[in-house]
């Protein structure tokens, strides 16, 4: 198979959460130059508050998806935005497996070691559990 044919058949999962780091990862991986919501923790003790929070999260997710779709069009990338839920690292790996991806690209926020120790790092999780190459982009 020639190089052009191989490139056309590659599937790359790019983990996006609406952050500037994720946008930079997409732009840097484009021509050599999804959606996965990172969990927002909140507590509520009444159903009205919970319902309002859920609606806000849903609207925010829709905005992120729209932004990513616009970015794909702007960069002329033939891609598809998938909105997945659950643990971010596991959801990204599951999506990559289902899409038969050949690579995963994820942005790194560069959080401190204390926060990473307490909360974990999605990029660390993906690096340690992926069976395919992973590119972690740090701006």
Q: What is the pLDDT of residue 86?
A: 84
Whether the full predicted model's pTM is greater than 0.75, yes or no, is no
Structural domains of the chain, count:
1
The more confident residue out of 129 and 35 is: 129
Q: What is the pLDDT of residue 79?
A: 85
Q: What is the pLDDT of residue 97?
A: 94
Instruction: Report how far apart the first and last C-alpha atoms of the chain are (Å, whole number).
Output: 34
Q: What is the pLDDT of residue 16?
A: 73
Q: Which of 131, 132, 107 is nearest to 121 (CA)?
A: 107
CA atoms within 13 A on the CB side of 31: 6
| 27, 70 contact by CB (below 8 A) | no
Please give the structure tokens belonging to residue 99.
């899409």
Q: What is the mean pLDDT of residues 64-69?
A: 88
* Residue-averaged pLDDT of the chain: 75
Give the tens place of pLDDT for each residue, 102-116: 999 888 776 666 555
Q: What is the pLDDT of residue 12?
A: 74
Domain region containing 74? 3-137
Please give the structure tokens belonging to residue 107.
């942005």
Interacting residues of 123 by C-beta distance below 8 A, sequence separation 6+: 106, 107, 108, 134, 136
Q: Report whether pLDDT(98) > 70.
A: yes
CATH number at residue 85: 3.40.50.620
Helix axes of 47-74 and 20-29: crossing angle, nearest 10 degrees: 30
| 139, 24 contact by CB (below 8 A) | yes
Residue 82's SS3 state is coil
Give the tens place of pLDDT for each residue, 15-55: 777 777 777 777 776 554 343 343 334 444 566 666 777 78
The more confident residue out of 93 and 52 is: 93
């Amino acid at each position: 198979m020639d190089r052009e044919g191989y490139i056309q058949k590659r599937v790359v999962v790019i983990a996006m959460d609406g952050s500037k780091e994720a946008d930079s990862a997409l732009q840097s991986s484009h021509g050599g130059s999804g959606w996965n919501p990172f969990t927002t923790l909140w507590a509520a003790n009444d159903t009205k508050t919970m319902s309002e929070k859920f609606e806000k999260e849903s609207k925010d997710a829709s905005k992120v998806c729209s932004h990513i779709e616009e970015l794909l069009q702007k960069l002329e990338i033939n891609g598809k935005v998938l909105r997945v839920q659950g643990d971010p690292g596991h959801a990204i790996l599951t999506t990559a497996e289902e899409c038969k991806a050949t690579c995963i690209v994820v942005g790194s926020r560069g959080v401190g070691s204390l926060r990473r120790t307490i909360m974990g790092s999605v990029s660390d999780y993906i690096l340690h559990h992926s069976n395919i190459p992973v590119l972690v982009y740090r701006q």
